[in-house]
Amino acid sequence: IPQLLIDTDPGVDDALAIMMAHAHADIAALSVAAGNVGLGHTVRNARTLRDLLGATFPVFAGCATPLVRAPDEDAAFVHGMDGLGDVGFPEPKAAAEGEVAALALLRLTRERPGELTLVALAPLTNLALALRLDPTLPQRVKRLVVMGGAVTGHGNTGRIPAEFNIGFDPEAAHVVFEAFSRFDLVDWEATLRHGFDDAEFDAWLATGDQRAAFFGKVFRTARDYNAKHDRSGVVAADALAMAVAIDPSIVTRSEIRAVAVELDGRLTRGATVVDWANRLGRPAQARIVLEVDQARFAAMVRKALGVA
Ligand code: BDR
Ligand code: CA
């Protein structure tokens, strides 16, 4: 059973991903980034999720800002002002650890070399900091799975080809993409191909256990947003990436390509540029996940929600 180090900015889809991790794997720790909402909220939400799951994994707070430039948007309009649907959960029980996330990532991978799968569900600030402090980090992780990017330019931010996690901290993504000679990339476009039907998903929420009830609540703001924008279906980017982290054999179609991050473009900063035709002859480091087994993905989500 996989041992996961999860870097996250909860976040509604992060919440579902963490529930999946708890149901199907061991969570070694959550390291928390700013992204969907500010760091104060994302750390608190990570602690709230730990209480919901009755778990004891440590939660480490990371960096409150991107490496270089202040972000020009967050994602509170989808996830709620507090990042978890503005439900008003009580103060979580235990505090976050005192150690900062980047140092915890380095320490945990030193204590358990080759054992931990790193799952990146947030802007890559914490991972980039850790890599700058210790460039040997990639040698000590079993795998890296990144939720990020829009491989043919259909992003989900105000800068059209940029996906949120990469667009929020492009320099950090650049550091990570240069440092790892192989990682799995689950992008926004794959997410859109792997949505769930609204009625099907509602039936899971209605028949699952307390985790389904929790998710039903936090999911409301995202639902309202979708309804307002005439979008149907449930898409959960981080849940898809988590499925790939838990069981890589779920991937049915992928391509290994060199991927770089645009750092300067006036309209394109934060875009992921894929060398599809290998014109630059650079080492291809990203296994781009194009398709997974949807039935197995659905089964993983159902179990995480406690659907019988
Ligand atoms: C990614 O951005 C965040 O809003 C989600 O939590 C996910 O990690 C999708 O682009
Ligand atoms: Ca996220």
Summarised one tens digit per residue, pLDDT across range 127-141 is 999 999 999 999 999
Does any ligand 1 atom lie closer than 6 A to the CB of residue 36?
A: yes
Q: Which bound ligand lies closest to the C-alpha atom of 30?
A: 2
Bridge-partner residues for 59, per DSSP?
30
User: 238 CA distance to ligand 1 centroid (A)?
Assistant: 7
Q: Which bound ligand lies closest to the C-alpha atom of 163?
A: 1
Q: How far is the C-alpha of 57 from the C-alpha of 78, rounded, in Å?
A: 27
* Residue whose C-alpha is closest to residue 292's, from 196, 165, 164: 196
Which residue owns the Cα nearest ligand 1 atom 4?
A: 36
Distance of CA 203 to the CA centre of its chain: 25
Residue 224: partners with Cβ closer than 8 Å, 6 or more residues away: none
> Buried b / exposed e across 152-177, counting CB within 10 Å, b at 16+?
ebebbbebebbbbbbbbbbbbbbbbb
Does any ligand 1 atom lie closer than 6 A to the CB of residue 219?
A: no
User: 152 CA distance to ligand 2 centroid (A)?
Assistant: 20
* Helix, strand, coil percentages in the chain from 3-state DSSP, rounded to 5: 40, 20, 40
pLDDT of residue 188: 98
Question: 223 falls in which pLDDT band (50, 70, 90)?
Answer: confident
Residue 266: partners with Cβ closer than 8 Å, 6 or more residues away: none
Q: How far is the C-alpha of 146 from the C-alpha of 185, rounded, in Å?
A: 5
pLDDT of residue 230: 83
Q: How far is the C-alpha of 270 from the C-alpha of 167, rounded, in Å?
A: 4
- pTM for the model: 0.98
Mean pLDDT of 199-215: 97
Percent of the chain past pLDDT 70, that is, above it, reads 100
Evaluate whether 241 touches 119 at the Cβ level (below 8 Å): yes
Question: 227 falls in which pLDDT band (50, 70, 90)?
Answer: confident
Summarised one tens digit per residue, pLDDT across range 18-38 is 999 999 999 999 999 999 999
Q: What is the mean pLDDT of the chain?
A: 97
User: 6 CA distance to ligand 1 centroid (A)?
Assistant: 14
Summarised one tens digit per residue, pLDDT across range 53-97 is 999 999 999 999 999 999 988 999 899 999 999 999 999 999 999
User: 251 CA distance to ligand 2 centroid (A)?
Assistant: 20
* Ligand 1 atom showing the smallest separation from residue 78 Cα: 4
Percent of the chain past pLDDT 90, that is, above it, reads 93
Kindly tell me if the per-residue pLDDT of 203 is higher than 90.
yes
Kindly tell me if the per-residue pLDDT of 264 is higher than 90.
yes
Q: What DSSP designation does 170 have?
A: H
| Sign of the torsion formed by the C-alpha atoms of 266, 154, 46 and 59 | negative
Kindly tell me if the per-residue pLDDT of 209 is higher than 90.
yes
ipTM above 0.95, yes or no: yes
Mutate to test the pocket of ligand 1, among 8, 9, 18, 154 (most ligand atoms within 8 A of CB): 9
Q: Tokens for 208? A: 């699952």
